[in-house]
Each structure stands twice: as C-alpha cells, then as structure tokens.
Amino acid sequence: MQVEKKKQRQVQISRLQAMDETEKKREQLSLYEKLFASKEWQQAKTVATTMSGKIEVDTRPIMQQARYEHKTILIPKTLAKWQMAFFEYLPTTKLEKTKFGIPEPVGANNISKSDINLILVPGLGFADQGNYRLGFGGGYYDRFLRDYHGATISLVLSAQHFKTAAWPIEAHDIPINKLIKSEAN
C-alpha cells in the first residue's frame, strides 16, 4: 500500500506544481473566504496551521487574519518517534528549517492538544468520500489527530480534489471533519 501512496504523492506533487498561479490565487481567495465564514473559524480562539510550502495553499493570509481577530496561532514542530506538537507562533518566534525544509519554531510555548480549537490539516489530496486525505508520508498528522477532539478543516484546491480516494485508505488514516473546496471543485 505504501508503494501506491508514494506513487500518488508524486502524481499530486506534479499536479500542484503545474497549477496555473493566477488560478491558484483565485481558488485560494475563495478558500479563505469560506474558511473565515465557517462556524469552526468563528468559534476558534486557537488555530493551528502550517508554514506552507510553495505547492500548498498559502497560510500567510490565514495567519494574518487570525492575528487581526486576536486568535492564538500555532504551528507544528516534529518531534522524535514521528510525533508532533504545536507551538505558539508570534512575529518574533524564531524559526529553524528542518531536514524537510519546513520552518519550525525554536523555543516557543508548547500548547496542549486539548487547548487547540481548530487544526487546518495540510495534504496533497482529499477525497469527498469519507473526507480522507493523502498526506506527505510521515504520518505526523494521523498520529496527532488520533486522540484530538477539536475541529479539523482542510482547504482543498481543485488539483487536490477527488470524489473517491485515488490512494489506498489504511486503518491509521484519520478523516478530516470538514473539507472546504474552491469554486473550481
């Protein structure tokens, strides 16, 4: 199954890299609008998101809106044994790139899982059927979400959207509560 997932990850990375930048920006604006109007966003005091990479939905506008609304912003840090935790992110937070090339917080405050209201879950692909996601392959989010009881949302670009999963779903895969899709979907 891992071989099939690995192949689909490569397909998805290529699809996302090939996305027209103007179209991607248009889709992102639609996603932000829907996210900020959602009850999950409006009720959240603490929002966890990622420091997005080039092929992902840009999370900087999300962080700016959260800051404007006086929400606490959290970003993940990978830990030993394929674990992850979320830490508060402020404009003064020192960041260090990981071996994956992702900026992570250094010396920030670790936030308890039970204090996180909303997690924006990244991925390469998302399926309507079951709200399953194709992650980046480390399993960090699936492990973290296993006993998380707050809201989860994924923002889905047209290149990430599937009616049914084009990858195998495994027992450890955790579905997302809500998929917010762009108008192109």
DSSP 8-state code for residue 85: E
pLDDT number for residue 2: 81
pLDDT number for residue 7: 95
Q: In a 3-state reduction of DSSP, which class is residue 151? A: strand
> 95 pLDDT exceeds 90?
yes
Looking at every residue in the chain, the average pLDDT score rounds to 95
pLDDT number for residue 43: 98
Q: Take residue 185 and report the two structure tokens written for it.
A: 């979907």
Q: Greater confidence, 100 or 63?
A: 63
CA 124, CA 17: separation in Å to the nearest integer?
Answer: 11
DSSP 8-state code for residue 164: S
Task: Categorize the per-residue pLDDT at 83 as very low, low, confident or very high, splitting at 50, 70 and 90.
Answer: very high
Per-residue pLDDT tens over the stretch 32-73: 999 999 999 999 999 999 999 999 999 999 999 999 999 999
Task: Categorize the per-residue pLDDT at 102 as very low, low, confident or very high, splitting at 50, 70 and 90.
Answer: confident
CB atoms under 10 Å from CB of 9, counted, come to 18
Task: Give, for 141, the enclosing helix (H) or strand (E).
Answer: helix 140-145
- Bridge partners of 46? 72
Task: Categorize the per-residue pLDDT at 185 as very low, low, confident or very high, splitting at 50, 70 and 90.
Answer: low
Per-residue pLDDT tens over the stretch 107-117: 767 899 999 99
pLDDT number for residue 109: 72
Per-residue pLDDT tens over the stretch 130-146: 999 999 998 999 999 99
pLDDT number for residue 184: 67
CA 108, CA 153: separation in Å to the nearest integer?
Answer: 24
